[in-house]
Amino acid sequence: MTQTKILAVILATAGAVAATTATAQSVGGAMRPMMSFEALDTDGNGEITKAEMQAHKATRFSASDSNGDGKLSTEELLVRAQKRAAKRVERMINHLDKDGDGMLSQDEMANRGGRHGDMFKRADSDGNGTISKEEFEQARQHRGGKHRGGPDGECDRGGKMEQN
């Protein structure tokens, strides 16, 4: 019974990740659909059913389950994450590499604009040229705690640094 519950949680989590990933993917600051409607509408009737979405999720899960045991190990999840990260990095370089050298300079990273724009200006909500603790916390909440890592560790869900 416990194994069934664990498997259900894993499948639900994998499905949520797959659905989120399929819905949108960040490309140069813009969101774009990952899957086309036609790819999800497998019977071609012009509507996506819950069964079609579940089949899509199951296919994505199976693609990550390299040993076919019906479970995703740490290694299998890491392989999937590394593939996604490699694709994202490639798109990022293609989008931002203005001099065409295949690498990103500090200037190219700093001038990326888009949704990144001038983070300081967005955080400085009162426009006085400084960021107060309150503005800092508001900006952090607005970002939803994304990209919590730091040079010497990663932040936990509460924003506290964990040492690597």
Pick the last residue of a domain from 74, 89, 110. 110
Q: Per the structure block, which two tokens stand in for 161?
A: 């640094």
Same domain, 96 and 68: yes
Looking at the fold, whether 103 and 131 belong to one and the same domain comes out as no
Higher pLDDT, 75 or 21: 75
Q: Mean of the pLDDT values across residues 13-29? A: 43
Strand partners, 27: 30
Q: 135 and 63: one domain?
A: no
CB neighbourhood size of 18 (10 A): 21
Q: Report how many domains make up the chain.
A: 2
Over residues 15-25, mean pLDDT: 42
Residue 93, pLDDT above cutoff 60? yes
First CA to last CA distance, the chain: 36
pLDDT class of 111 with cuts at 50, 70, 90: confident
Quote the pLDDT of residue 145. 56
What is the domain range of residue 124? 119-163
- In terms of Cβ atoms closer than 10 Å to its own Cβ (0-12, 13-18, 19+), residue 64 is middle
Tell me, what's the pLDDT at 29?
A: 41
Query: Would you say residue 4 has pLDDT above 90?
Result: no
pTM (two decimals): 0.50
Q: How confident is the model at residue 115 (pLDDT cuts 50, 70, 90)?
A: low
108 within 8 A of 96, measured Cβ to Cβ: yes
Q: Does the pLDDT value for residue 105 go beyond 70?
A: yes
How far CA 80 is from CA of 26, 28, 75, 137, 148, in Å, comes to: 17, 21, 9, 33, 21
Mean pLDDT on 106-126: 78
All residues at 6 or more sequence positions from 52 whose CB lies less than 8 Å from its CB, including other chains: 40, 41, 42, 43
pLDDT(17) > 60: no
Residues 54 and 105 grouped into a single domain: yes
Please spell the DSSP secondary structure of 92-117, one letter per residue: HHHHH-TT-SSS--HHHHHT--TTTS
Answer yes or no: do 97 and 129 share one domain: no
